[in-house]
Amino acid sequence: MFPGQGSQRPGMARDLLRHHGAIAGPLLLEADLALGLPLTEICTLGTAEDLAATEITQPAVVAMSLAVLEVLRREGHFAPGAVTGHSLGEYTALVAAGVLAPLDALRLVQIRGRLMADVGKLTPGGMAAVIGLDAAEVEAVCRQAAGHGLVEVANYNEARQTVISGEAPAVAAACELALARGAERAKALPVGAPFHCSLMAGIEAEFAAELSRCHFADPRTPVLSSVTGGWIRSGWHARELLRRQLAAPVRWVDVLHTAHAGGYGHFVEVGPGRVLSAFARHTVQEAVVRSTNDARRIASLINDNTSHQEKDMS
């Protein structure tokens, strides 16, 4: 599982470079040169404010996730049975599955971040997390708040956590209505634009043109899409889903249920943060869930995987 925007944190590359610099360092430097951005410096020394701009956040999270993935592959000999990513994380998943080249993925998310940020500058919108109501109730709240402007469900994260997105007055009204219905919390998220709602539809054509310039191979490893919650069938299908992803909600609950129904019981979050690990634990309670948020967790995961491989060979 590869995380998306919101998983970034100041200094997120420091631990990785200190303990796995020989692998992570060259990969991050390649990203710096390809994008013309000091991502290594930003991910090591940058502040939360430095990481906040969408056009910086998106390539930074993908670069970090790719670096951790490479460490797991080379030091822990990891070969996942399937991969998936939460929104932005789907680009890293497609790299892991052999669908996209790493530098193509980084260039695409840099452009994606810029286009999304442009929408945020033109439209005073926002996002909010509603906790304590089921998804159907949140959908009803959005319909009820429609008189204040556009507001839609953006992320189906877990049974009792749903994110909404849209025009600022409508999002605020929906939060008030959700609290009146008994939500535990309805809090604004610190994002620069109203992601995953109809307000993003206007950038689909321009981004589709960028997608058409990149080669999309058929998956070598099964990939679950956060747009549909189902399996990606081909390289063409992957490209089309990335276009749709801009304005479509993230169906993470469906992703986890599909993975579980397919027999997957071990979930590893590869990249910064532990948000997806929490979603997996809450949604598939019998699953074994691990994260790679710091060097200690990466080392534990590598050691356990190596031990299992040695036991299988004996």
Active-site positions?
A: 87, 196
Helices (H) and strands (E) in the chain, counts: 13, 9
Q: How far apart are CA 213 and CA 207, in angstroms?
A: 10
Question: For residue 247, which of 293, 299, 296, 204 has the smallest C-alpha distance?
Answer: 204
Contact status, residue 83 vs residue 105, Cβ threshold 8 Å: no
Question: Three-class SS of residue 166?
Answer: strand
Contact status, residue 274 vs residue 291, Cβ threshold 8 Å: yes
For 90, residues 6+ apart whose C-beta sits below 8 A from its C-beta are 2, 4, 84, 223, 225, 226, 227, 241, 242, 245
Phi first, then psi: give them for residue 271, nearest 5 degrees: 135, -170
Structure tokens belonging to residue 210: 């960028």
| Ramachandran assignment for 291, one of left (phi > 0), alpha (psi -120 to 50 degrees), beta (any other) | beta
User: What ranges in 128-198 are assigned the alpha helix state H?
Assistant: 135-144, 168-180
